[in-house]
Amino acid sequence: MKLTSAGRTHVGMKRAHNEDSLRLFREENLFIVADGMGGHASGEVASQMSVETLAEFFRATAEDDEITWPYKMDKGRKYEENRVVTGVKLSNRRIFEAASRDSKLKGMGTTIVVTFFVNDTCYIGHVGDSRVYRMRNGVLEQLTEDHSLLNDYIKMRQLTPEEIEAFPHKNVIVRALGMKETVQVDVMHEQPVTGDVYLLCSDGLSGMVSDDDMAKILNGEGDDLDEKCERLIDAANKAGGTDNITVILVRYEQD
């Protein structure tokens, strides 16, 4: 398995500071995007804490497979799925406890999306409305499902495109790290094929640039992932850049 990756984050055109965080942990084939919330820089604290905690957990469990985990493994899941879920749950607990101890951090939280590649399998975990897409044979497909009020309404009421556009609470998420002492983590896995490109992003990208326009950029000239990250961020900023924008691209190839 050979992975090529790139990542970028940008404050956008309207925000004073960047509350997004990203981590390309190439030694472990682990890639993370987190979108913090809470204001007064506490969102940045939450997002950084989430990516650092998850990366630390993966480093520790890679070095010692006998290490005691903070949560019991779910016997119905594969070992690697359990690593993803447990690492995210540990991140949630640390953010929740930090906010409980420090009044300045009260109410902070973050979304998180993670892709973990091992044994020619891609494991995907997420909480919130940051997303993972997969580009395969020129077709872009969203793999994660937003934990948002808008998505709940879409599933319940089958909203029209016009109703979706006019929905007044687009930015309300119903699940995030730090909101409660425990969190439900959605996890899935799939077998990538040579040439697949995985896109991890905060809603600063997906909320400003349509899936069709993202696909055009990814299908555009050249194979340089750094350049494609820049083009995606430029597109979000040209559309208004109302939020922080974070992008990671990972290309999969078989050895």
What is the reported pLDDT for 155? 65
Residue 125 lies inside a defined structural domain of this protein: yes
Residue 173 lies inside a defined structural domain of this protein: yes
Angular region, 87: left φ>0, alpha ψ -120 to 50, beta rest? alpha
Q: Which domain holds residue 45?
A: 16-193
Q: What percent of the chain has pLDDT over 70?
A: 89
Residue 212 lies inside a defined structural domain of this protein: no
Residue 127 lies inside a defined structural domain of this protein: yes
Total domain count for the chain? 1
- 36 pLDDT band, cuts 50/70/90, is very high
CA distance 223 to 115: 21
Task: Note whether 3 and 117 are within 8 A (CB).
Answer: yes
Tell me the mean pLDDT in the region 103-130. Answer: 96
Tell me the mean pLDDT in the region 114-128. Answer: 97
What's the mean per-residue pLDDT of the chain? 92
Q: pTM for this structure? A: 0.93
- 255 pLDDT band, cuts 50/70/90, is confident
Whichever domain contains 122, its CATH number is: 3.60.40.10
DSSP 224: -
158 or 136, which is more confident?
136
What is the reported pLDDT for 173? 78
Residue 157 lies inside a defined structural domain of this protein: yes
At residue 232, the 3 state secondary structure works out as: helix
User: pLDDT tens across 167-216, in order?
Assistant: 565 566 789 999 999 999 999 999 999 999 999 999 999 999 999 999 99
Whether residue 72 is predicted with pLDDT greater than 90 in this model: the reply is no
Residue 254 lies inside a defined structural domain of this protein: no
Residue 205 lies inside a defined structural domain of this protein: no
Residue 244 lies inside a defined structural domain of this protein: no
User: pLDDT tens across 140-171, in order?
Assistant: 999 999 986 556 556 666 766 765 566 565 56
